[in-house]
Amino acid sequence: MKRILVTGATGQIGSELVPALRSRYGNANVVAAGHKKPPHQGVVEEGPYITLDVTQIEAISAVVRDYQIDTIFHLAALLSAVSEKNPQLAWKVNMGGLYNILEVSRENNCAVFFPSSIGAFGPNTPRDNTPQDTLQRPNTLYGVCKVSGELLCDYYYTRYGVDTRGVRYPGLISYETLPGGGTTDYAVEIFYDAVANKPYDCFLKPGTYLDMMYMPDAVRAAIELMEADATGLKHRNAFNITAMSFAPEELAASIQTLIPGFSMRYTVDPVRQAIADSWPRHMDDHAAQEEWGWKPQYNLEHMTRDMIERLSKKLEHR
Ligand code: AKB
């Protein structure tokens, strides 16, 4: 990786992956691409920032040529709940965008990181210790795009030798940028209300266990996988990775150890509840551990402490 393009750079993962890549590879060597004005100045001031519509293949080609890109972290996509509201747009952006990125990478010899998700599984996938290789029949458009994306990345590797790699991310928790319309967003929103000393109204019901991860681990996973020795990779794409699994009431209890007055009630959103009920409760990530040394650093307690500290500081300074 010498010259890197990050699509979706202003999103939840991108806004933390870009600075991490810049501090490792040099500011000028990491091009941040968003489809709108960046939310904070850092992405623009610290290195190149461009607006890019990933549904426009010619625009991607031009950026890759102009900046002599050799690696693309392709993060631009609609999340699960938003995709259910507008499946046609989700197909266009999530599948069309990935196809364009892979085609441009084939022509320009770029490596590609593609984030799949726990959303790639469906209601008849084993929900506990979900195996790396198992039944995948998702019933959401988001999930259909993720499974198709995993297969398309495999295809571009075996057919054309494009160095595609990727993980299946669980719900991601971060303080820098809010997620935009996912099913696991409650695990971020809850902290904003907790540090503001407000009760939180959770849209998933108690007992809804899902895999989760703190953003520093998620960013490190993407970089470590792209830097891993290719000879050790049997899977390449769609590695299960997880750091913790909890239900909403367990996250609330963890917050209460630091903010004792915090309380949570439930107003269940049937659409997001149905999506969550079709996803794994806990994935088996042994393939990632064995093939490229994956190991999370944050558990529930450590993540909760760090989130509360950092979010309190961030909101104080607003
Ligand atoms: C979502 O909830 O849509 C995402 C995901 C798990 O892929 N956070």
Counting as low any pLDDT under 50, the low residues of the chain are none
Query: Is the dihedral angle over the CA atoms 184, 189, 191, 193 positive or is it negative?
Result: negative
pLDDT of residue 102: 98
Q: Which amino acid is at 258?
A: L
pLDDT of residue 36: 75
Q: How far is the CA of 107 from the centre of ligand 1 (A)?
A: 31
Q: How far is the CA of 179 from the centre of ligand 1 (A)?
A: 9
Structure token pair of residue 224: 């470590």
pLDDT of residue 264: 98
pTM, entire model: 0.96
Which residues on neighbouring strands pair with residue 246, listed in sequence order? 210
Judge whether 142 counts as a catalytic residue.
Answer: yes
CB 16 within 8 A of CB 40: no
Say yes or no: CB of residue 171 within 6 Å of ligand 1. yes
Closest CA to ligand 1's atom 4? 182
Q: How far, in Å, CA of 26 to CA of 46, rounded?
A: 10
pLDDT tens per residue, range 39-63: 666 666 689 999 999 999 999 999 9
Say yes or no: CB of residue 117 within 6 Å of ligand 1. yes
Strands 239-240, 264-266: pairing is: unpaired
Closest CA to ligand 1's atom 8? 171
Q: How far is the CA of 276 from the centre of ligand 1 (A)?
A: 9
pLDDT tens per residue, range 68-81: 999 999 999 999 99
Query: Which numbered atom of ligand 1 lies nearest the CA of 146?
Result: 7
